[in-house]
Amino acid sequence: MKRKYFIPFLLLLVFAFLASGTGLSINKQSGGILNRVKKYQAADSVNISFGFADSSGQHLLASEINQLTKDSYYVVISSGKIFKLDFIEEREEKEGSTGRQTTGNFNNSGGFLFKSLYIKLNPGKTYLIADSDYLSQHSRLSIEPIPYLPLNSDRIKQIEEAKGKPIKSSWQLGRTDDGIILALVLFQPGKDTALTSLVLMKNDLSVFEDYPGDLKDEYSVWRVDDNGEFNPQSINVIALFHSPDGYEIARTWAGKEGENSVYLVQKENIFKPIIEYYRYWVAE
């Protein structure tokens, strides 16, 4: 980590607590916040969480769950399929923990431990966990991956008109059978600012989650130590739903020091977060 980003661990935790009583509240995605969860008011009755898999792919460790329904939880994968989870225990972080949410520190990390009964998970990957009540109220959509192909000219024009900004680059992430396209777009930079957006498109609909960047910090525009380059492969949509209120997305964003996971709900043409989870994994 560069010297300019070093902050004593205790002071950083105090800062995070003062900035947000519920958890992570830092604009630039960085490391140093250990296993923090931020829940918004809209998430009060939402029984979903994020968890990461161990090295065997047989267990998930969730950051937080509704204990009243812990026996009816499922892991959701990007194909839209769900697989039953068996709740094992709630455990405290062990004394030997490094504070990293990694496969190497899995057995020492605290949280809610599940066993995957019917599918082997990708070791170290983050997954969405949801209970049966939540799943019964949401239609799961299967995402067909697209290898970062650019959007066509019609879609580019649609986004530029919606945002009032010219696009520099675009990358498709996936699509669904009913015509939804998920993509990332990098807009032409301003004097000191940059902007990238995750966009869901279907017919004339465009819904955005914006990622502003700071060009005054050439080494960390979006993420700490990103060297001013936006990497589309660092963002992964891990689940997509449709509900009576609109579309909902679970996505992850990996950086050098850790990974930010967010559950987003559609509010008109903007995606709003209701749960955020940060995994810290910088090497010791």
pTM of the predicted structure, to 2 decimals:
0.85
pLDDT of 227-273, one tens digit each?
A: 889 999 999 999 999 999 999 999 999 998 999 999 999 999 999 99
Q: So what's the pLDDT on residue 47?
A: 86
Q: Is residue 68 part of a domain?
A: yes
Looking at the structure, tell me whether residues 248 and 208 fall in a common domain: yes
Give the list of residues 6+ apart from residue 8 with CB closer than 8 angstroms, or none: none
Domain count for the chain, please give it. Answer: 2
Would you give the DSSP letter of residue 118? S
Its domain, for residue 119, covers 32-140
The DSSP line for 242-262 is EETTEEEEEEEEE-SSEEEEE
Looking at the structure, tell me whether residues 92 and 150 fall in a common domain: no
pLDDT of 113-162, one tens digit each?
A: 999 999 999 999 999 999 999 999 999 999 999 989 999 999 999 999 99
Q: Is residue 206 part of a domain?
A: yes
Task: Find out whether 85 and 74 touch, Cβ atoms under 8 Å.
Answer: yes
C-alpha distances in angstroms, 18 versus 7, 11, 23, 32, 260? 15, 11, 9, 15, 20
Looking at the structure, tell me whether residues 163 and 125 fall in a common domain: no
End-of-domain residue from the set 90, 121, 140: 140
End-of-domain residue from the set 140, 165, 197: 140
The span from the CA of 145 to the CA of 189, in Å, is: 28
Residues composing the chain = 284
Looking at the structure, tell me whether residues 151 and 218 fall in a common domain: yes
End-of-domain residue from the set 119, 140, 161: 140
The span from the CA of 80 to the CA of 238, in Å, is: 9
Task: Find out whether 111 and 49 touch, Cβ atoms under 8 Å.
Answer: no
Q: Is residue 127 part of a domain?
A: yes
Looking at the structure, tell me whether residues 91 and 136 fall in a common domain: yes
